[in-house]
Structure 1
Amino acid sequence: MENFKFYAPTKVYFGKDEEKRVGKILKEFHPKKVLIHYGGQSAIKSGLLDRVKKALDEENIAYCLCGGVVANPLLSKVNEGIQICKEEGVDFILAVGGGSVLDSSKGIAYGVYNEGNVWNYYARKKKVKGALPMGCILTLAATGSEMSNSSVITNEDGNLKRGLSSEYGYFKFSILNPELTYTVSKYQTMCGCTDIIMHTFERYFTPYDTLDLVDQMAESVVRTVIKNAKILLEDPTNEKARAEIMWAGSVSHNDMTGDRSLGDWACHQLEHELSGMFNVAHGAGLAAIWDSWANHVYMENPTRFAKLGHRVFGLDDSDTLSCALNTIEKMEEFFKSIGMPTSIQELLKRKCTEQELYELTYKCSFEHTRTIGKFKELDETDMLEIYRMANEKEVA
C-alpha cells in the first residue's frame, strides 16, 4: 500500500439558510475589512448578495465588493481584486458563487499576501508563502474548490489555463446550502456532475496500490452522482438530489476518495488547454476528452476499469478486457444521457484543425518540458493522439 497524507481543515456549514449566519461566522476571525467576491448577475438577482451584505452589516463588519467573475476565471479579474484589497486594507476574502469565483478568490488571496506577479505562482516559477484567509458561500456544485487546496486561473495573454495547489489554498469555512443551486441551468448542473465524477476518477485511476475502503468511497461518489444527475434532469429543484450532488462535489475533491498527489490528472491537464483556448465549460471539456483518454490507456491496468464496471454499473462480465471496454462504453452512454459532449467535434460544434491540435499539445506539454499522467505517463505523442481521437470521433 502506498503511503498517503490527508488534510481537510475547512469547516463546513451545510444546509438550508446557513448563509444567513455568515456575519457571525466571519466575526470569529475579527476581520478589519472583507472583500466580497462574486460573479455576474445571479447573486444580485437572487437576492443572495443583499442577504450577505445584511449579515455583515448586522455584525458591523466593513466590506467592499468585487464582482464580474466569469467561467474560466481570468487573471485580469484576479489582478483587479488584488488592487482593491491593497487599496482598501482588506484582510479577509469572502467568495460568493461557484467554482470560478472560489478559484478567483484564491488567486487574489495569493496575490495580496505574496510579492510580485501572481501569475508566476500559477506558472510554477515561484512558490507561495501564504495567503489571506478566505471563506465561501457556494452556489454551484462542481469544482470541489470549497474543500480543496487547488485553483485554476486563465491568463488571457496566450489563453493559458494553469492550476495551483497549495497548503494555503483552503477556505477557513465553506457554507453549502443546496437550495442556492436550484437556479443553476440544466446544462451547468450536468457539467458540474461531470466535474465531480472526473475529480473522483483522477484519484481512482492511479498506478499505486490503494485501500479498498477508499476505492469503495470513490465508487459510491460516482454511483451517487449518476443516480442524482438523472433525477435533476427531470426535477431540478429536488432538494435531496441537490444535497447529494453538493456534498459529493466536496467529498470528491477533499482527498477522501484518494490523495490527489497520487492521482492521474491527465484528463484535467488535457482539458485545461481546451477551455483555455476555446473558453468551453470545464465539465463539458472533460466529458469530450475522457473516452479517448480511457481507450488510450486502459491496457495499462484493465482490471482497474473492470473493477469500476463491476461496482458502479453492476457489470458481470468475467473477461477483464471485455469488462474494461464495457465500462468505458457505459460512462460514455451516461455522459450522452445527461447532454454532455463526448468528442471535441460535439464540444466545439466543429473539428479542430491539425494546427490547433498541435497547439493544444504544445501548451499541454508546457512547451515541450513535461509529461502528464500517472496511470499511464503520457508524452507529447500520446497527448496528440488523444486529442486526435477526441477530434475524429463521429458525432452521434
Structure 2
Amino acid sequence: MEQFKYYAPTQILFGKNTEAQAGQLCKARGATKVLVHFGGSSAQRSGLLDRVCQSLQAAGLGYVTLGGVVPNPRLSKVYEGIELCRREQADFILAVGGGSVIDSAKAIGYGITNPGDVWDYYSGQTPQACAPIGAVLTIAAAGSEMSNASVITNEDGWLKRGLQSPYAYCKFAILNPELTYTLPAYQTASGCTDIIIHTLERYFTRPGVKALALTDGMAEALLRNVMRNVKLALQTPADYDARAEIMWAGTLSHNDITGDRSQGDWASHQLEHELGGMFDVAHGAGLAAIWGSWARYVLKHDPSRFAQLAVNVLNVPYTFGNDEKTALEGIAAMEDFFSSIGMPTSISAMDIDLTDAQIKELAHKCSFMGRRTIGGFVTLNAADMENIYRMAK
C-alpha cells in the first residue's frame, strides 16, 4: 500500500430543496454579510437566486450579489469581486453555480485575505488564507465543491492557471440534482466528460506508485456509473436518479476518494487549459478532444494499465498476451463513447484549425515558457506537448 493523503472537510447536503438551508449554513460558520456569486441569467430566471437570498434573509444575514461569471472564469471578474467584498465588508462567499463560479469565488476568497495581487498566487506564490466559501451546485462537472483546486483565466495573455490550497475547501456544498434538469445537452455531456477525466487523471499514476485494488475498483465503478447515467440524462433530462448519480460522482471524482491527486498524471488537464485559454472552449469538450491523443502518445509506458481500463470499464475483450492491442482498442472505445454523447475527439471537431504557430504557442504556455514539464504517468516536455497537440488536430 502506498502512502497517500486524504482530506475532505466539506459538509455535504444532498437532495431536493436543500438550497433552502443555505442561510443557516452560512450563519453557522460565522458569516455576517455574504457575497452571493453566480454566473448568467439562468440562476435568476429559475428562481434559484431568489430562494437562496431569501434563505439568507431568514437567517438574519446581509448580502450583496455579483453575477457574470463565464466558463473559463476571468481574472477581471475576480478583481471586481475582491473590490466589492472590501467595500461591502462581506466576510463569506456563497457560490451559486458550477465549477467556474466556485473557482471564481475561491479566487476572490484568496484576494481578500492575502497581500498583493491575487494573480501572484496563481503564478506560483503560496497563499496563507482564504475567506470561507460555500456552494450551491448547479452543474455536475468540475468537482470544485469538494476539492482544494481552482482555475482562473487572465485575459492579459489569455493564461489559464490553477491553484491548489488546503485553505480553499468549501465549508459546505449543497447538491440538489433537480437544479441540473435544465442544463443543455452539450453542457451535461461536457460536465460528465470532465468527471470521467478527473478520475482517469488519478487512475494513471506516476511511476513507482502501486495502485490499490480497492481504489481502482471505486474509480472503475464511478466511470461505469457516469458513462451509463449520462446517456439516461441526455434521453430524459428530468431523470432524478440519473442526475443524482452523476452529481455525486462529480463530487467524488475530485475529492481524492478515487486516488491522491499528487500521485496522478494531469497532463490532459494541463494541455486542455491552454486550449481553453486560447479558444475559450468548454472544458469537458477540450478534454475529450485531447485525451485519446495523450493516451496513444504515452501508451507504451505501461500498456497493462490501459488494458485494465479497457477490460474493466469499456467491456473490451482481453487479447491474451497482447496488452497493447487491448489498450488501443480501449482508447478507441473511450473515444467512441465520447462521440456517442456529442463530444469531440479531435481539436478540429471543435471548428478549430490549429496552425503550427498556434501549436508552438500552446506548448510554450503549457510548459510555462519552458520552465516546467507536465505529467505524472509520463513526464512530458514542450516538444512532447507539441506532438500531442499535433496528434489531436
Q: TM-score range by the shorter chain?
A: over 0.9
Q: CA deviation at 1:256?
A: 0.1
Shift of 1:316: 2.4
Q: Aligned equivalents of 1:274 and 1:313: distance in 2?
A: 27
AA in 2 matched with 1:104: S
* Other-structure match for 2:251: 250
Assess if the C-alpha contact under 8 Å between 2:69 and 2:77 holds in 1. Answer: yes
CA offsets 1:67-113 (integer angstroms, 9 cap, x no match): 11011000000000000011111111000001100000000000000
Displacement of 1:221: 0.8
Taking the aligned partners of 1:271 and 1:224, their CA distance within structure 2 comes to 24
Superimposed CA distance per residue, residues 240-273 of structure 1 (whole angstroms, 9 cap, x where no aligned partner): 0000000000000000000001110000000000
1:288-345 residue CA offsets vs partner (Å, 9 max, x unmatched): 0000000000110000001111111222222211111111011000000000000010
Separation in 1 of the partners of 2:10 and 2:151?
19
| Aligned match of 1:9 | 9
TM-score of the pair, normalised by structure 1? 0.97
Alignment of 1:52-63 (within 5 A): 52-63=52-63
Contact 2:190 2:283 in 1 (8 A): yes
Deviation at 1:23, TM superposition (A): 1.4
The range that moved more, 316-325 or 268-277, is 316-325
SS in 1 for 2:166: coil
Distance in 1 of aligned mates of 2:158 and 2:313: 37
Opposite residue 54 of structure 1, the aligned amino acid is Q
Letter of the 1:197 partner, please give it: I
Q: TM-score, normalised by structure 2?
A: 0.98
Equivalent in the alignment of 2:300: 299
Structure 1: gaps of 5 or more residues:
392-396
Q: Which secondary structure does the structure 2 equivalent of 1:161 belong to?
A: strand
What are the within-5 Å matches in structure 2 for residues 109-148 of structure 1?
109-124=109-124, 126-148=125-147
Counting only pairs closer than 5 Å after superposition, residues 154-303 of structure 1 correspond to structure 2 as 154-207=153-206, 208-303=209-304
Q: Does 1:340 align with 2:343?
A: yes
Check conservation: 2:95, 2:135, Cα contact below 8 A.
yes
Letter paired with 2:70: V
Q: Matched residue of 2:147: which SS?
A: coil
Of the three residues 361, 367, 373, the one matched with 1:371 is 373
Deviation at 1:123, TM superposition (A): 0.8
Q: What SS does the aligned partner of 1:342 have?
A: coil
Other-structure match for 1:325: 328
- Measured against aligned partners, the alpha-carbon deviations of 1:126-160 in whole angstroms (never above 9, x if no partner) come to 11001001101000000000000000000000000
* Deviation of the 1:27 alpha carbon: 1.7
Structure 1: how far apart are the matches of 2:168 and 2:31?
Answer: 18
SS at match of 1:113: coil
Amino acid at match of 1:21: Q
1:316 aligned onto 2:317: yes
Question: Which amino acid counterpart does residue 198 of structure 2 have in structure 1?
Answer: H
Inter-partner Cα distance in structure 2 for 1:343 and 1:255? 28
- Is there any run of 5+ residues in structure 2 with no aligned partner, and where? none
> How far did residue 32 of structure 1 move?
1.7
Q: Shift of the alpha carbon at 1:58?
A: 1.0
Q: Distance in 1 between matches of 2:223 and 2:292?
A: 16
AA in 1 matched with 2:106: K
CA contact (8 A) 2:314 2:334 kept: no
Q: Distance in 1 between matches of 2:271 and 2:385?
A: 8
Shift of 1:350: 3.4
Letter of the structure 2 residue corresponding to residue 287 of structure 1 = A
Q: CA deviation at 1:30?
A: 2.6
Equivalent residue, structure 2, for 1:394: none
Q: Name the CA distance, whole Å, in 2 between partners of 1:57 and 1:63.
A: 8
Contact 2:195 / 2:250 at 8 angstroms: preserved in 1?
yes
SS at match of 2:162: strand
SS of the counterpart of 2:145? coil
Summarize the alignment of residues 17-56 of structure 1 with structure 2, pairs less than 5 Å apart. Answer: 17-56=17-56
SS of structure 2 residue aligned to 1:13: strand
Amino acid at match of 1:160: L
Q: Partners in 2 of 1:111 and 1:353 — Cα distance? A: 37
Code of the aligned partner of 2:133: M
Q: Give the root-mean-square deviation of aligned CA atoms.
A: 0.7
